[in-house]
Amino acid sequence: MQVEIWSDVACPWCYVGKRRFERALAEFEHAEEVSVLWRSFELDPGAAPEIPGGSTELLARKYGMSLERAQEMNAQLTGVAAAEGLDYRLTEQRLGSTFDAHRLIHLARERGLQDAMKERLLRARLVEAQLVSDPDVLVRCASEVGLDEREAREVLDGERYLDEVRADERTAQELGISGVPMFVVDRRLGASGAQPPELLLELLRQGYGSASADIPQR
């Protein structure tokens, strides 16, 4: 059974969702039969390498709210993340494009390190407040999870995995995915948002049950 997860390393709810999915998968009776594939999704596909200002200002502009309300929302989300063991530094975030980060996640997939790369980049952006469009930051993160530093640099200097990132994003559009995280089981069932672990566990069980139902009985 394959679970595809569309998400962005700039998305605070995606990191919360990752933790909750991990808890659900740990309780799933057939976890050893599950293949997890991280799919690319950019919250802001047209983002510059670095965007001035902080997340509070960006949130206020995006949703047309006051700075005070945006601060409250960031504080609430920081509390939710803390309950999952994540120490967010949202007000210190350095904002910018995540396109190259997604390209490295595709490289990591080919090397069997996709989940580790996804985890490292989420932590870099949301917990460490690093600029994940900075090639030096990206190469350092890649090296830390076991990728070859020279190969990571070559990817960033060229156009490798550009088509793969765009293909993921086109598929998201075709499937009607407009927000992340989005969990899709065998292209049959899906759950949008950082759902509680018990709901994600139920999604896994439903997906496994529906897949088994397609197997002819003898």
The identity of residue 19, as a single letter, is: R
Please state the length of the chain.
Answer: 218
Scored b (16 or more CB within 10 A) or e, 142-156 reads beebebeeeebbebb
Write the CA distances from 78 to 150, 171, 184, 193, integer angstroms: 36, 31, 26, 16
Q: What is the pLDDT of residues 22-44, one digit of tens each?
A: 999 999 999 999 999 999 999 99
Band of the pLDDT at 213, cuts 50, 70, 90?
low
Q: How far apart are CA 166 and CA 105, in angstroms?
A: 13
Mean pLDDT of 128-147: 98
Residue 61: band (very low, low, confident or very high) from pLDDT cuts 50, 70, 90: confident
Stronger pLDDT, 127 or 61, i.e. the higher one: 127
- 2-213: in CATH 3.40.30.10: yes
β-bridge pairing 2-7 and 189-192: unpaired
Instruction: Tell me what pLDDT residue 179 has.
Output: 95
Classify residue 86 as left (phi > 0), alpha (psi -120 to 50) or beta. beta
- pLDDT computed for residue 216 by the predictor: 37
CA–CA distance, 47 with 52 (Å, rounded to integer): 11
Q: β-strands 35-40, 2-7: how paired? A: parallel
Measured CA angle at 191 (ends 17, 14), to 5 deg = 20
Residue 159 CA neighbour count, 13 Å, CB half:
2
Kindly tell me if the per-residue pLDDT of 57 is higher than 90. Answer: no
User: Which residues have C-beta within 8 Å of that of residue 177, sequence separation ≥ 6?
Assistant: 6, 41, 192
Q: Which two tokens stand for residue 203?
A: 């999604």
* Alpha helices in 64-134, H assignment, sequence order: 67-83, 99-110, 114-122
Single-letter amino acid, residue 47: A
Amino acid identity of residue 92, one-letter, is E
Q: In a 3-state reduction of DSSP, which class is residue 9? A: coil
